[in-house]
């Protein structure tokens, strides 16, 4: 009984600090997105008129999935439906990768990034084939 209470306590701590960290990251993403809003992005392959190709820019991030998200996802698989804990993880990773790409574009003096592509991959899977870490890689052509 005592071991189970310790497990629940640790699970609660993980949930609390994980949520707090996620909220801080979302706030940071929002602020950085506002700061870089002058750099636009598009998926078009053709260079828009008036721009000159500047550089190939990239942004990538690897985010690990915490145990609480794994437990929540495992419970969701029992009943089916959207796995919200993974959805927010992927959203954070995607937004972070795009911001890092935009920061690199800003360093090159660019005002637009064209032909933007986003790739995802599983960096690590444990023995039970559960996702361990997620990599998101954003890239494109910076334009001046």
Label the pairing between strands 53-64 and 40-41. unpaired
Residue ranges per structural domain of the chain: 2-143
Those residues with Cβ within 8 angstroms of residue 74's Cβ, 6 or more apart along the chain or in another chain: none
22-48 pLDDT, tens digit per residue, is 899 999 999 999 999 999 999 988 888
Label the pairing between strands 131-143 and 112-125. antiparallel
Rounded to the nearest 5°, which phi and psi values hold at 128?
-85, 15
- Answer whether 143's CB lies under 8 Å from 116's CB: no
94, 115, 127, 105: which is closest to 46 by C-alpha? 115
Kindly report the CATH number that applies to the domain delimited by 2-143: 3.30.110.70
88-143 pLDDT, tens digit per residue, is 888 999 999 999 999 999 999 999 999 999 999 887 666 555 667 889 999 999 99
b/e string for 112-141 if b means 16 or more Cβ within 10 A?
bbbbbebeeeeeeeeeeeebeebbbbbbbb
Residue 64 has pLDDT above 60, yes or no: yes
């Amino acid at each position: 009984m005592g071991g189970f209470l310790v497990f629940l306590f640790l699970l609660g701590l993980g949930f609390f600090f994980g949520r707090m960290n996620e909220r801080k990251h979302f706030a940071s993403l929002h602020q950085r997105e506002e700061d870089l809003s002058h750099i636009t992005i598009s998926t078009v392959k053709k260079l828009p008129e008036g721009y000159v190709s500047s550089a190939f820019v990239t942004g990538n991030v690897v985010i690990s999935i915490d145990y609480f998200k794994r437990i929540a996802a495992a419970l969701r698989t029992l009943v089916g439906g959207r796995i919200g804990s993974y959805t927010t993880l992927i959203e954070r990773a995607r937004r972070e990768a795009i911001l890092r790409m935009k920061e690199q574009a800003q360093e090159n003096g660019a005002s637009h990034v064209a032909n933007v592509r986003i790739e995802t991959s599983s960096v690590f899977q444990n023995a039970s084939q559960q996702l361990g870490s997620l990599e998101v890689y954003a890239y494109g052509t910076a334009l001046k």
